[in-house]
Structure 1
Amino acid sequence: MRAKFRRYAALALWAILAQQAIAADRLPGTQPLTMQGDVAAQMVAGVDQFLLSEIAAARSNRGAHWQWDFSSPEKHKQAIAANRTRLAHLLGVREERIPFDAPHLLATIDAPALVAHGDGFDVYAVRWPVLPNLHGEGLLLQPSKGKIVADVVAVPDADQTPEQIAGLADGLPPESQFARRLAESGCRVIIPTLVSRQLAKRNGRANLSNREFVYRTSFVQGRHVIGFEIQKILACVDWFAKSGDVDIGVIGYGEGGMLALYSAALDDRIGRVCVSGYVAPRETIWQEPISRNVFGRLQRYGDAELLSMIWPRTCVVERSAHPAVTLPGEGGAPAQITTPTDEAVAAELARVANADHLIVDPAKGDPQTRTCGRMLAEFLPVGATLKADSTGKIAVLQTLDFAARQQRQMQEIDDYDQQLLAVNDKVRAEFLKGLDTSSVDAYERSVAKYRDIFYDDVIGRFDRPLLPFNAQSRKSWETDKWIGYEVKLDVFPGVFAYGVLMLPKDLRPEERRPVVVCQHGLEGRPTDLFDGTKSAYNNFAADLCERGYIVFAPQNLYIGQDDFRTLQRKSNALGKTLFSTIVPQHQQIVNWLKEQPGVDPERIAFYGLSYGGKSAMRIPALVTDYCLSICSGDFNDWVLKTASSRHKFSYVWTGEYEIYEFDLGGTFNYAEMAALICPRPFMVERGHFDGCGDDEFIAWEYAKVRNLYQARLHLTDRTEIEFFIGGHEIHSQGTFAFLGKHLSWPK
């Protein structure tokens, strides 16, 4: 009786405080919210500063991931083995390459393979197998006399052709034609073609570089344009290792320098490497072309760590001017490449764990005018001599079709990615085979480890505690049915959660009502859900509140165009995503809601449209305090939607360059995300004419969800899909009934 009396006394006190707070224009237990201006923009700016501080901290924290041992080459190899395996995985270097005896000569009756004669070498058009139906293609510079002194893969920048660095085409000064100079000095040289940075309208929509286009179809499937090109280089190394007993080297400039560095870090058979126009601090990698975006790069791998992995093999670092690149961001990711200062490069080189294998350009002169080629003599093996630069003309016998070769290279990678789409279902089924569906209890135990994998490896988890709420509020809206309060909560340093709490006016002190967290879409705001200005939302937050639900409408981060999209770029560098911040924001929101009088902590639901529907797949999968989730206008065969170059609804053609999440293809499509929500209720709301996808693909993916809930776990009433005649909008029919059934409201 005393406990019951204390409870009623507390409720009565809350009622008094609530009336006082209404008069004072704020909620009980909160401080006044005084923030003015665009709160959403301030939220994005705060997260931006938080991420920049995390990037700065990653540099000093990187050493915790390494246990260097330079006492012998074998012990060094063992010490870096785990990080080497991880790096290959992140770069998408996963499949076994196809062995071959020699590159194929590319010839027809009208166009023989012999392309040119140089000073002591012949040039052939060649092609070599790498992966099923995927080939490298470029030039082979074969010495025509004397002994081969070294086998070399020479890699141009992405905006250079093999012909330019071989001296067959205009565009580079003689000192920068490093493939030609190595061939003149007795090296056998093979030059792969890289995917270029040429811009083009894709399907009449986003203006993307060739490299970004390939990046998009690859990244979500755990592959990468970088990884495919590394595989082409290593396939040449396979051939060299099989066919000769001379040193194997890789040399590259710009994008080619990047590939040379990665390749040598991964493969000990590369006895010497030259990196030109690339080495720099990578803390601003989010400003570079998105095709350089390697998930989690800055957690473990600065350029210094990659250089340390090459020890004790010879590594030449030439501090030449980097390619000058600016990408405009006309639907693609805006980016630039500039030449770092000598001081910045020196600082990065100073971090190399053991630098006695490095030969570094002394960096004399203007870094903007230095050109690659100065360090070629250092790159050659002992006993070999760099021939004095000649001006002798190369006899060009035929001119190859550069554009057609570029298109073939792009098309093969795209075809490979589209083939991956066809088998990813089986890969994910194998990945999730540890789920135990013998009972609901067994399932909940077995799904926990997959939830951790999803959080740690896909979404990315910030391993830091949530701050105290420091809750602030102010009354900002009132109708005859409800009162709306802006609420701000601290999350991480500089990071806060913000939203609108809508309280029905008929809420009695002794009641515990369900809460529906209503989530806006791309570029949205909480007000869109209740002020009647955006028809797609059908005023559903206000409607729910008028039906007696407590409603919370959070502001999510996806607002401000490039301002928020660069948050994804910064997050990716740390092995994180936008949702690495959004999930803790929602956890803090739920934690705070559960402490509010009038809230039933066991009945807090999530309902979102569009990007809010995307949130409905990811947030409740990780914030298990959400008792159910409704995904509206987003549920899809998500991997297909983000990686397909065959469907009009694909994100490949659009400006949402931040939408890509690494390696979902082999881990968590939407059915697998729903499996993390299961056994909690889950619903899909789908308009037949919603352009986010086609009915058949939504139904295909949802059928797996229904099979899990109903056929395997016998939860026959916990999942539904509603198709309605309409578009990209809240329908409010089946979903409201679903909420009523599972939240037991109205009573």
Structure 2
Amino acid sequence: MAISTAQEKSDAPPPWPILTPSENDEPLPGTEKLTLEGDLSHQLVEANDAFLDAQIAAARESRQAKWKSGSYDADQRREEMATMLGLDRDSRIDDTRFEFYSIQKAQLAVAEGLSIYTVRWQAIDGVNGEGLLLEPEGKKNPTSVDVIAIPDANQTPEELAGLAPNIPSETSPFALLLAQSGCRVLVPSLTNREENQYRMTNREWLHRPAFELGRHLLGYELHQVLAGVDALKNTATKERPLGVVGFGEGGLLSLYAGALDPRIQSVAVSGYFGPREGLWLEPAEHNIFGLLETFGDAEIASLVAPRALVIESGVYPDFVFRPDKNGAPEIIEERPEKAGKPGRFMMPSPQGVASETNRLREIAGADWQPMAVTANHAMNGETLAAFADGLGLETFDPARKPIAFKKVYPDPEGHDHIAERHARQMTAIERHTQRALIQSRQDRQEYFKELKTDTLEDFKKTIELYRDRFRTNVIGEFDLERIAANPRTRRYEEGPKTVSYEVVLDVFDGVIAYGILTLPKDLDLTSGEKRPVVVCQHGLEGTPQDVIGEPKFKAYAAFATRLAERGFITFAPQNGYRYFDLFRLQQFKSQSIGKTLFSLIVPQHLQITDWLAKLPFVDADRIAFYGLSYGGKSAMRIPPLVDRYCLSICAGDFNEWVWKNAATDPKSLRYSYANKGEYEIFEWNLGGTFNYAEMAALICPRPFMVERGHFDGVAPDEAVAYEFAKVRNLYQAQLGLDELCEIEWFPGPHKINGVGTYAFLEKHLGMTK
């Protein structure tokens, strides 16, 4: 009787290794028994979260010591703040002045003693400020002071100028009220928070590439505001006081501008002041790398002293992106519908505002007292009167009503000049980031100018400077000693040739490392034989289980088990990039204190490799790293800082990484993260410091390999080849390390191929099949 093809297939063994639960859960010799139950990957991620919360709280306390009254240099802190905002990356235009460009008339609107003009002014190369200029005119309303009035992101300059009376507003038309009192008022336009076609806000869209390139949307807007200061100064008929006042996002910019520029004599902040420890849950564009290590709102506000400062609280922009059913930003453990980061504009409690104001007074000292106002409607008369008093403006009347306009000139062609202005602003900033992306290669070359490659010894000495910078300025390092590992294990699964153990190690107080150790059955643990280890790293949303057996076999090919079947010891760690918003928001928690997700992952791997090295059957000098996808990202970031890793293999991730994060042109968006849901992926100023070639230099002279499928959608072949060519040049051309750097191209997708890489491991770890 013939056997059918279907029956033959059903009788064939599956392509993945057959693993069954171990009959006992005894620990590995020399370790305690693991008794933790449940989802250990979730417990690890939750422990990371609690640790980060504690570190943010600790940062608040440590700032206090840095800011004891009289113990700091204000100019030095301003410089530090400017660097955090990326203001040092681009120079403002000299001698900027206003260009008047109303379409029909010189004036947009006219009232008694007052005209309003549409203006723009140069800020930095390729980026202008745009908005309205309210100009007092005539003897009855002479100009005595200059003011920049900054709206919230979801307001227009026209609202502040009283030209949009039918639009409900959270504020008074405070630019108009100040202009009626003799102030020449400049009202800049900001990028709004509307959701775009990429399922994120316009502001996050601009923030993402800017952040990767060492810039900030807030930095661009501060350039526009400070260039507005320049333009007002350059066009004043005589020296006169200048103040900055703003609400919501404009309040943030007013506070920051006042702190950075001593030419600003009076500052009023409405709808933005309070404790900043929840920065991680604010909109993405508020994310400033390392801010909370040195600055909270109190510390920034103290840089305004001894000038006038008014803080108005009580009314805030009501904005939440991705709200849950209760109106709070949603934090879910599955893929959301929208690509943007969940976040809300902070609305601090009255107690929180009072606490931060008290901290401000402690920092600045008793000789300077900012004025605090509580309001039911933003920019009320008391706030504006106090602001005007700081400018010496005696003509401001808090009871004055907005003036009626005699004439408002429409656009005869029916253009929506507000929408067109907004589009111009967004386009200019996006174009600037794309020019910065092109320039970033030269920036990295300049950054690496102290690296010497004349000899291998010169290279080894000079690369350490960059390793320290990578550890401190890019990845971030907690100033903590690891605690004893206290290894706990239990027997997990068995195959025909392998046996595995679950392993949990302590790292920091409350922080653990977790993974699966797989041993070849032909290894006698008591014989004294020492074998190499391959650490096999899962990708995004993965677990150790994914890389050892049937789960996710299509991508991972059970490579941790297959390598153990070839005689290697393998260890599959759990990295913390799992559970969607839960881990992604941990990146923002980390970045707020100058750290990243890898600030915890690296010490976890230090603990893992130290423990592996002490096992009597492990060759401590032959511990390799091999990761796919987010595990490939790990292959570029962990081995540079874990010297026990003797080689690294990056699979399914190697790339022109800065381009992949920062490119916004339509063709690049097929690959770029700029419009994707991985909102945590962006790392501060990689464009000016470390692309993947520079990270690979930190692995050199250890063996390094890339595993690349031609049909892997992470990048086109040419982007991978372009970046790899620089690595190959370093190893082979400059240092003569001919056999230590390889790439395997295979006709496949995003997966472990396990051909050239297995040969690479066997060659460099001294193993044969």
| Alpha-carbon spacing, 1:482–1:113, altered in 2? closer, same or farther (3 Å) | farther
CA deviations 1:257-303 (Å, max 9, x no partner) are: 00111111111111111111100100111111111000111101000
SS at structure 2 position matched to 1:167: coil
Q: Alignment partner for residue 681 of structure 2, among 651, 659, 676?
A: 659
| Alpha-carbon spacing, 1:350–1:541, altered in 2? closer, same or farther (3 Å) | same
- Runs of 5+ unmatched residues, structure 2: 1-21, 323-335
SS at structure 1 position matched to 2:303: helix
Supply the distance in 1 between the matched residues of 2:214 and 2:255 (Cα, whole angstroms): 20
Q: Alignment partner for residue 487 of structure 2, among 457, 471, 493?
A: 471
Alignment of 1:185 onto 2:181: yes
SS at structure 2 position matched to 1:36: coil
Instruction: Give the CA deviation at 1:320.
Output: 3.5
Q: 1:10: which partner in 2?
A: none
Instruction: Give the CA deviation at 1:433.
Output: 1.1
Q: 2:129: which partner in 1?
A: 136
Contact 1:113 1:126 in 2 (8 A): no
Supply the distance in 2 between the matched residues of 1:40 and 1:740 (Cα, whole angstroms): 30
Instruction: Give the CA deviation at 1:80.
Output: 1.9
Supply the distance in 1 between the matched residues of 2:452 and 2:29 (Cα, whole angstroms): 45
Instruction: Give the CA deviation at 1:518.
Output: 0.3
Alignment of 1:305 onto 2:321: no
Supply the distance in 1 between the matched residues of 2:395 and 2:621 (Cα, whole angstroms): 77
Contact 1:253 1:372 in 2 (8 A): no
Q: 2:568: which partner in 1?
A: 549
SS at structure 1 position matched to 2:638: helix
Supply the distance in 2 between the matched residues of 1:657 and 1:442 (Cα, whole angstroms): 39
Q: 1:513: which partner in 2?
A: 531
Contact 1:316 1:358 in 2 (8 A): no
Give the TM-score, by structure 1 length: 0.93
Supply the distance in 1 between the matched residues of 2:271 and 2:460 (Cα, whole angstroms): 52
Amino acid at match of 2:341: A
Give the TM-score, by structure 2 length: 0.90
| Alpha-carbon spacing, 1:397–1:373, altered in 2? closer, same or farther (3 Å) | farther
Contact 2:212 2:685 in 1 (8 A): yes
SS at structure 2 position matched to 1:122: strand
| Alpha-carbon spacing, 1:82–1:533, altered in 2? closer, same or farther (3 Å) | same
Alignment of 1:403 onto 2:419: yes
Please list, as runs of the form range in 1=range in 2, the aligned pairs for 1:57-72 lying within 5 A after superposition: 57-66=58-67, 68-69=69-70
Contact 2:25 2:492 in 1 (8 A): no
Q: 1:200: which partner in 2?
A: 196
SS at structure 2 position matched to 1:199: coil
Q: 1:503: which partner in 2?
A: 519
Instruction: Give the CA deviation at 1:175.
Output: 6.1
Instruction: Give the CA deviation at 1:174.
Output: 9.7
Q: Alignment partner for residue 218 of structure 2, among 216, 219, 226?
A: 226
Q: 1:718: which partner in 2?
A: 740
Q: 1:215: which partner in 2?
A: 207
Deviation larger for 312-321 or 274-283: 312-321
Amino acid at match of 2:131: G
Supply the distance in 2 between the matched residues of 1:193 and 1:504 (Cα, whole angstroms): 65
CA deviations 1:502-541 (Å, max 9, x no partner) are: 0110113221111000000000011111212211111111
Supply the distance in 2 between the matched residues of 1:289 and 1:358 (Cα, whole angstroms): 30
Q: 2:371: which partner in 1?
A: 360
CA deviations 1:437-480 (Å, max 9, x no partner) are: 12212211111111110010111100100010011111111111
Q: 1:378: which partner in 2?
A: 386
Amino acid at match of 1:260: S
Instruction: Give the CA deviation at 1:633.
Output: 0.5
Supply the distance in 1 between the matched residues of 2:631 and 2:125 (Cα, whole angstroms): 39
Amino acid at match of 1:385: T
Q: 2:661: which partner in 1?
A: 642
SS at structure 2 position matched to 1:636: coil
Q: 1:457: which partner in 2?
A: 473
Instruction: Give the CA deviation at 1:649.
Output: 0.3
Contact 1:67 1:80 in 2 (8 A): no
Contact 2:312 2:379 in 1 (8 A): no
Supply the distance in 2 between the matched residues of 1:439 and 1:312 (Cα, whole angstroms): 55
Alignment of 1:286 onto 2:268: no
Contact 2:311 2:373 in 1 (8 A): no
| Alpha-carbon spacing, 1:181–1:358, altered in 2? closer, same or farther (3 Å) | farther
Contact 1:175 1:374 in 2 (8 A): no
Contact 1:610 1:634 in 2 (8 A): yes
Contact 2:373 2:383 in 1 (8 A): no
Instruction: Give the CA deviation at 1:22.
Output: 9.7
Supply the distance in 1 between the matched residues of 2:91 and 2:647 (Cα, whole angstroms): 43
Q: 2:9: which partner in 1?
A: none
Instruction: Give the CA deviation at 1:397.
Output: 1.5
Q: 1:73: which partner in 2?
A: none
Instruction: Give the CA deviation at 1:112.
Output: 3.0
CA deviations 1:545-600 (Å, max 9, x no partner) are: 10000000000000000011111010011010000000000010001000012100
Supply the distance in 2 between the matched residues of 1:532 and 1:22 (Cα, whole angstroms): 20
- Runs of 5+ unmatched residues, structure 1: 1-20, 71-75
Q: 1:241: which partner in 2?
A: 233
Instruction: Give the CA deviation at 1:362.
Output: 4.0
Supply the distance in 2 between the matched residues of 1:338 and 1:716 (Cα, whole angstroms): 55
Q: 2:432: which partner in 1?
A: 416
SS at structure 2 position matched to 1:692: coil
Contact 1:500 1:552 in 2 (8 A): yes
Contact 2:177 2:402 in 1 (8 A): no
Q: Alignment partner for residue 349 of structure 1, among 353, 357, 370?
A: 357
Contact 2:506 2:512 in 1 (8 A): yes
TM-align CA RMSD: 1.7
SS at structure 2 position matched to 1:351: helix
Supply the distance in 2 between the matched residues of 1:231 and 1:625 (Cα, whole angstroms): 45
Instruction: Give the CA deviation at 1:140.
Output: 0.7
Q: 2:95: which partner in 1?
A: 100
CA deviations 1:18-45 (Å, max 9, x no partner) are: xxx9966111221111111111111111
Q: 1:526: which partner in 2?
A: 544
Deviation larger for 326-335 or 552-561: 326-335
Q: 1:6: which partner in 2?
A: none
Q: 1:618: which partner in 2?
A: 637
SS at structure 2 position matched to 1:138: strand
CA deviations 1:65-111 (Å, max 9, x no partner) are: 346439xxxxx7xx122221111111011221012352111234xx3
Supply the distance in 2 between the matched residues of 1:540 and 1:44 (Cα, whole angstroms): 24
Q: 2:330: which partner in 1?
A: none
Supply the distance in 2 between the matched residues of 1:101 and 1:35 (Cα, whole angstroms): 65
Supply the distance in 2 between the matched residues of 1:522 and 1:208 (Cα, whole angstroms): 21
Aligned residues: percent identity? 47
SS at structure 2 position matched to 1:657: coil
Aligned length: 711
Q: 2:343: which partner in 1?
A: 335
Contact 2:602 2:642 in 1 (8 A): yes
Q: 2:17: which partner in 1?
A: none
Contact 1:320 1:372 in 2 (8 A): no
| Alpha-carbon spacing, 1:676–1:124, altered in 2? closer, same or farther (3 Å) | same
Contact 1:606 1:616 in 2 (8 A): yes
Contact 2:170 2:317 in 1 (8 A): no
Supply the distance in 2 between the matched residues of 1:278 and 1:744 (Cα, whole angstroms): 61
Deviation larger for 549-558 or 442-451: 442-451
Contact 2:270 2:378 in 1 (8 A): no
Amino acid at match of 2:359: R
Alignment of 1:430 onto 2:440: no
Instruction: Give the CA deviation at 1:173.
Output: 5.3
| Alpha-carbon spacing, 1:174–1:636, altered in 2? closer, same or farther (3 Å) | closer
Deviation larger for 255-264 or 390-399: 390-399
